């Protein structure tokens, strides 16, 4: 984890340097977002072919969670954007179920008080080409490489079992912006992709209000949904976010 943080910091420093070398039309942007995360469903079965499926929301109780994420953008040319994102997320659930749970090679008897943790940290590098840039409209599309650093942990009755899931995921990135006035704009942006083995969507709809030529405030709704259905793991999750943030431009 520290190695990933060091790599992200190094990449961020490189983007800062690029921004400093860019011409006056180029822009360096830091966006901080935080708020509350609420889980609609979180179904897991590990292994995917022989484990017991359990809902961390319907059979256990998942608490709302505080979340935060930071994105750094650099615009090396007028229509080109390169960004890095750090988006950690951890959800906690507790309760018991009335049947035996077979999870990751361990057995949890029926009625055992359970504690569950679901971590889904995401680190991304994105390139986007904004081919439509008009007075009131902006639209761009590109690609994202996501590093997924996740685990699902189940504890109870003196047993603790954790299934980790680390890997690279390619996604399609997009951004649509509609300027409403000199100080307000509507934004729809995100990363998404579907495949036979699973899918992933991370999409934000927000209202952005300019407080200063270089500072904006935004509030909106974010959805994170997806999962995988393979022999090793079955997991599908839907998280709803109340998103509040700030955008600072240099």
- pTM, 2 dp: 0.86
Rg over CA atoms, the chain = 20
* Strand 159-179 relative to strand 106-108, pairing: unpaired
Residues 6+ apart with CB under 8 A from 90: 65, 117, 118, 119, 120
Q: What is the CATH number of the domain that holds 49?
A: 2.40.128.90
- The number of distinct structural domains making up the chain is 1
pLDDT single digits (tens) 79-101:
999 999 999 999 999 999 999 99
Distance from C-alpha of 32 to C-alpha of 10, rounded to nearest angstrom: 19
pLDDT > 70: percent of the chain: 90
- Tokens 């990449």 sit on residue: 11
pLDDT > 90: percent of the chain: 87
Indicate the helix (H) or strand (E) that contains 208: strand 198-212
Range of the domain at 213: 2-249
Q: Is the pLDDT of residue 145 over 90?
A: yes
What is the reported pLDDT for 15? Answer: 44
């Amino acid at each position: 984890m520290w190695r990933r943080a060091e790599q992200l910091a190094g990449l961020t420093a490189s983007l800062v340097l690029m921004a400093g070398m860019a011409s006056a039309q180029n822009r360096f942007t830091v966006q901080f977002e935080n708020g509350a995360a609420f889980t609609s469903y979180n179904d897991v079965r590990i292994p995917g072919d022989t484990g017991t499926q359990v809902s961390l929301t319907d059979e256990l109780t998942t608490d709302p969670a505080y979340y935060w994420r930071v994105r750094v953008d650099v615009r090396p040319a007028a229509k080109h954007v390169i960004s890095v994102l750090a988006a950690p997320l951890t959800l906690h659930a507790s309760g018991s179920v009335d049947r035996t749970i077979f999870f990751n090679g361990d057995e949890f008897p029926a009625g055992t008080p359970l504690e569950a943790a679901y971590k889904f940290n995401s680190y991304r590098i994105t390139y986007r080409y904004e081919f439509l840039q008009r007075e009131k409209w902006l639209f761009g599309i590109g690609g994202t490489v996501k590093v997924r650093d996740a685990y699902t942990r189940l504890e109870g009755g003196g047993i603790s079992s954790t299934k980790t899931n680390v890997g690279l995921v390619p996604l399609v990135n997009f951004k649509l912006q509609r300027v409403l006035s000199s100080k307000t704009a509507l934004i729809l942006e995100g990363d998404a992709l579907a495949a036979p083995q699973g899918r992933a969507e991370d999409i934000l709809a927000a209202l952005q209000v300019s407080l200063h030529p270089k500072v904006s405030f935004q509030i909106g709704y974010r959805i994170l949904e997806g999962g995988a259905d393979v022999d090793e793991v079955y997991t599908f999750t839907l998280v709803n976010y109340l998103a509040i943030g700030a955008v600072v431009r240099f």
